[in-house]
Amino acid sequence: MERKQKRIGWYFLLTATALICVFSFFPMFSALVTSFKNSTGAQWITESGKPWYYNYARMFQDKTFMTTLKNTFLYLIIQVPIMLVFAILLAQILNNKDLKLRGFFRTCIFLPCAISLVSYALIFRSLFATEGLVNSILLALGFIPAKINWLGQTGTARFVIIFALVWRWTGYNMVFYLAGLQNLDYSVYEAARIDGANGWKTFWHITVPQLRPVIIMTFIMSINGTLQLFDESVNLTNGGPAGTTMTMSHYIYNNAFGTGTANFGYASAMSFLVFILVAILAVINLKVGDTRD
């Protein structure tokens, strides 16, 4: 009887398992195979007299690709820590039971998550347009002598992307920390206060260590998300000026489906590199999380 039930259990998970195999694992394998093929994906790259690793070697000579790689890591190194620190701080503040209007503040800070990535990218693009509101305000306050072409210069365009990303995702990550803090015994904080620990001390010695598993998880998710940035690059800066703010996914998309430049083999090689990067960074993160015990 028991064994018969366990066998029936397999039928329940069959559909989902098959779908994930067909629409995730197989395409991943297929991308690896295509990465050794030519631009149409129909012939092996070696058939045109090139070495089998041609598409991979090409990446490192491709200046645009190296820029997208650099951009991705720039966003990763600057934006992710700023966002996560803000998120933990906000969670810590909002977790205080004495605070009034907690629900209201939480809703406001969480609200940016309710709108799509394309929507917020377009809102920020409009706000930071040369004729946009940000310039009007800064000019009126006398902070800048003339209108800044935010999205037309590499440095400021990258700043706008980072700024927008922090805006969109801080509340999202805060929700994870709030969920993590809810499991914490509030009396620990009371005890710390009686012992004379100030806010900063309790933050570093109680909140952060307790939240470590959640912090690692949000780190992995943020790395994953940053490596796959697409909507913002396309809709906020369109990769510009001159491709200097483009992300890897955006460049891969252009190489696969862009007009005139379609190269399935090369795009697949780059996308397989993204997969490897995601995997490596996730493993590093988990390892770092483990050894601190």
Partner 1 sequence: MTERKKMSAIQRRLIPSYIFLVIVALFSVFPLYWMLTAATNTTQEVAQGKILFGANLMVNFRNLLASAKLWGAMGNSFFYAAALTVLSLFICSLAGYGFELYHDKGKDIVFAILLLAMMIPGVATMIPLFKMMSKMHLLSTVWGFVLPTVATPFMIMMFRQNSRNFPLEVMDAARIDGLGELAIFFRIYMPMMKSTYAAAAVITFMNAWNSYLWPRVVLTDPNSAKTMPILIANLAGGYTIDYGVLMLGVLFCSLPTVIVFFILQKQFAQGITGAIK
Subset of residues 72 to 101 that bind partner 1, contact rule: CB under 8 A: 86, 90, 93-94, 96, 98-100
* Other C-beta atoms lying within 10 Å of the C-beta of residue 268: 23
Minimum separation from the CB atom of position 112 to partner 1 (A):
6
The span of 45-53, 56-64, 71-79, 229-237 binding partner 1 (CB under 8 A) equals 229-237
42 belongs to the binding site for partner 1 (CB under 8 A): no
Taking CB under 8 A as the criterion, the residue among 158, 171, 207, 246 binding partner 1 is 171
Among residues 284, 260, 257, the alpha carbon closest in space to that of 271 is found at 257
Residue 163 CB, shortest distance to partner 1, in Å, is 10
According to the binding rule CB under 8 A, does residue 162 interact with partner 1? no
Q: How crowded is the C-beta side of 247, counted as CA atoms within 13 Å? A: 25
The answer to whether 165 contacts partner 1 (rule: CB under 8 A) is: no
Q: How many residues does the chain have?
A: 293
Give 49-98 as a 3 state SS string: CCCCCHHHHHHHHCHHHHHHHHHHHHHHHHHHHHHHHHHHHHHHHHCCCC
* Distances from the Cα of 218 to the Cα of 87, 109, 226, 227, 249, angstroms: 10, 17, 12, 14, 21
Task: Establish if 123 lies at the interface with partner 1 (CB under 8 A).
Answer: yes
Distance in Å, CB of 73 to partner 1, minimum = 16
Distance CA 159, CA 153 (A): 10
In the list 74, 82, 216, 217, the residue contacting partner 1 (rule: CB under 8 A) is 217
Q: Which is nearer to partner 1, 244 or 249 (CB)?
A: 249
Site membership for partner 1, residue 181 (CB under 8 A): no
Residue of the chain from 231, 243, 245, 246 that contacts partner 1 (CB under 8 A): 231
Q: Extract the tokens encoding 174.
A: 């805060």
Q: Which is nearer to partner 1, 16 or 49 (CB)?
A: 16
Q: How far is CA 17 from CA 6, 12, 43, 98, 197, in A?
A: 16, 10, 31, 47, 51
Selected range binding partner 1 among 45-53, 59-67, 68-76, 136-144, rule: CB under 8 A: 136-144
Nearer to partner 1, 66 or 133 (CB): 133
For residue 161, which of 150, 172, 171 has the smallest C-alpha distance? 150
Q: How far is the CB of 67 from partner 1 (least distance, A)?
A: 17
What is the spatial distance between Cα 80 and Cα 32, in angstroms, rounded to a whole number?
29
* Candidate segments 48-56, 62-70, 204-212, 224-232, binder of partner 1 by CB under 8 A: 224-232
Verify binding: residue 292, partner 1, rule CB under 8 A. no
